[in-house]
Amino acid sequence: MALRIEDYALIGDTHSAALVGRNGSIDWLCWPRFDSGACFAALLGTPEHGCWRIAPADPAASVTRRYRDGTLILETTFRTGDGEVVLTDCMPPRDGGPVLLRQISGRRGRVAMELDLALRFDYGRNVPWVTRLPEANGIRAISGPDMVVLHSPVPLKGEDLRTRARFEVAEGQTLVFELIYSPSHLPLPAATAAPETLLAHTEASWRGWSDRVQAAGPWTEAVRRSVITLKGLTYRPTGGIVAAPTAALPEEIGGVRNWDYRYCWLRDATLTLLALLQAGYTEDAVAWRDWLLRATKGSPSQIQIMYGIGGERRLMEWEANWLPGYEGSHPVRIGNAAHDQLQLDVFGELMDALHQGHLRGLPNSDDAWQLQKALLEHLATVWQEPDEGMWEVRDGRRCFTYSKVMAWAALDRAVHGIESFGLSGPLDRWRALRAEIHADVCRHGYDASIGSFVGSYGSRELDASLLLLPAVGFLPAEDPRILGTITAVERDLLQDGLVRRYRPEKAQDGLPGSEGVFLACSFWLADAYALTGRKDKARALFERLLDLRNDVGLLSEEYDPRARRMLGNFPQAFSHVGLVNTAYALARSGGQSKPVRSGTGDGSEPR
């Protein structure tokens, strides 16, 4: 059985990523890209679905782990009665094919070790054909288009369709294992001449990047770990950022809410852009913005809510029915049917991302502005339609309040673009439409009898997306309707002080079962406290969220406060983006913070 989600750590090379367990087992790896089939999928099944474990033979070995400072290089230290070894795992920056390095160093005594490698291509389905390399101790595994080569410093033996080894590591000794991927039609990839140099180069490259992080007061280290994680979720060739490197980690143990997150969501765009810009990573923000602009180019009526890392549009959802799922949570879904949904907020998310970038020195090109104008003209014809909303419900469309608010935000950012940056456009018409949408939301999305905005028109149910209304500048934070909404969220959506997205038992979403608290929404509540001058509450909630990170600083999408364990895909960009943005909001504000995401960027003139 796979470990608890929080018992994994991320390694990656900005093309793909792997999850390494505290037990030294790599249980998830998709090669060569984030969205490729997994060759290790034990995370969603059993070791027979693919994994690579290197650990002491003594099952009672104690374990501690950490990242090397400022890097995505993981060090797992095992201590046994016989001594201590450090397992160092990393995926070096690509200079050719994908490589995974595992180095074992003896620190004390002499420790008996085991290696157990099960390569299973296509998400644990295909057992490869394995042959020995001409050189000593290497193997080559081929299955259809895929080839993986292991260069090993110790003798290997084939057993039960797996590759195994037993060896000892003495104090002062270092052994390096190298796993390399290549398309199977290419020549055999050679071992790296000097793996120690490659490790040093990997460390230097991460340090050179992460040392530039902007200070965030007492939370600088937490922010540094989060931006390293976001960088690890970036597909360098295109600048796209995946929501998470995993598929089908459940939002409820044993449940059906198991989604594939190895794609890029427009909704996550603005918050990600702001996080990168605040942290000082302008180049990465530009790469992400350029990805956004390329992905969304085309007929405005065909804009999607999410795309593949290269901008792909068909992300067909299917079920890997040979995988039992994480702790029996099935189906295991690959692909994501949400790509076909209507979610009106994406117009606002895109316009806002570009506008916030512009406010911070990333100007709109004429080409980009023409695209935005075309998207707005399309939005003007569809904004009144019901949609699937931010939470991507699967039981029919409704008029989600947040979707309408973000339609307002799309117009608002366009108006500000004309007013502040001299861009061209039908100013009066867009101002009038902006006012019309604002009035529509205040009329249909607010319920005076409960003193709160509601999740969708005509419903009395709350939705955590409403916490973003002051952040996007829809109304001032002090507006009684906003204060009432925060109170209502506290009343209806808090579980053990953390925020649920909505109550699935009341606000139907088309799926059986329930889910945990949603960590990004919990950061939004902290932001809402800061915006309404309750800095102590904001800080207390933020510190509580920091305490939920695992031992190496990572957050999943959700958390189960009763079972005290992480849920959902891991690590999740949306959660880490929330952490970064809240950290800067708290570090910056002496008292009441300003909505950095408003049309003016400083919280003035909300409408």
Ligand X SMILES: OC[C@H]1O[C@H](O[C@H]2O[C@H](CO)[C@@H](O)[C@H](O)[C@H]2O)[C@H](O)[C@@H](O)[C@@H]1O
Q: Could you list the residues that contact ligand X (CB under 6 A)?
A: 243, 251, 257, 259, 261, 265, 267-268, 336, 338, 390-392, 574
Q: Which is nearer to ligand X, 390 or 580 (CB)?
A: 390
Rounded least distance, CB 522 to ligand X, Å: 14
| Residues 67/75, Cβ–Cβ less than 8 Å | yes
Q: Which residue is nearest to ligand X (CB)?
A: 392
Torsion of CA 386, 575, 310, 368, to 10 degrees: 60
Measured between alpha carbons, how far is 285 from 481 in angstroms, rounded to an integer? Answer: 34
Measured between alpha carbons, how far is 202 from 74 in angstroms, rounded to an integer? Answer: 12
Distances, alpha carbon 204 to alpha carbons 71, 72, 193, 504, in Å: 9, 11, 18, 46
Q: Which is nearer to ligand X, 277 or 464 (CB)?
A: 464
Q: Which is nearer to ligand X, 121 or 391 (CB)?
A: 391
For residue 122, give the 3-state DSSP assignment: helix
Rounded least distance, CB 336 to ligand X, Å: 5
Rounded least distance, CB 574 to ligand X, Å: 4
For residue 561, say if its preceding peptide bond is cis, omega within 30 degrees of 0. no
Q: Which is nearer to ligand X, 264 or 433 (CB)?
A: 264
Q: Which is nearer to ligand X, 216 or 519 (CB)?
A: 519
Q: Is 145 exposed, middle or buried (0-12, 13-18, 19+ CB in 10 A)?
A: exposed
Q: Is 564 exposed, middle or buried (0-12, 13-18, 19+ CB in 10 A)?
A: exposed
Q: Which is nearer to ligand X, 74 or 390 (CB)?
A: 390
Rounded least distance, CB 61 to ligand X, Å: 36
Q: Which is nearer to ligand X, 338 or 371 (CB)?
A: 338
Strands 99-118 and 162-170, sheet pairing = antiparallel
Question: Which residues lie closer than 8 Å to 358 by C-beta, 6 or more apart?
Answer: 364, 417, 421
Q: Which is nearer to ligand X, 258 or 364 (CB)?
A: 258
- Vertex 473 angle, CA 470 and 479, to 5°: 50
Strands 83-90 and 8-12, sheet pairing = unpaired
Rounded least distance, CB 259 to ligand X, Å: 4
| Residues 260/333, Cβ–Cβ less than 8 Å | yes
Q: Which is nearer to ligand X, 105 or 246 (CB)?
A: 246
Rounded least distance, CB 573 to ligand X, Å: 7
Rounded least distance, CB 493 to ligand X, Å: 15
Comparing CA positions, the residue from 5, 4, 192, 235 lying closest to residue 102 is 192
Rounded least distance, CB 552 to ligand X, Å: 21
Rounded least distance, CB 263 to ligand X, Å: 8
For residue 32, say if its preceding peptide bond is cis, omega within 30 degrees of 0. yes
Rounded least distance, CB 341 to ligand X, Å: 8
Measured between alpha carbons, how far is 331 from 420 in angstroms, rounded to an integer? Answer: 50
The neighbour count for residue 3, using CB atoms within 10 Å, is 15
Beta bridge partners of 101: 90, 178
Secondary structure element (H or E) that encloses residue 534, with its range? none
Q: Which is nearer to ligand X, 395 or 602 (CB)?
A: 395
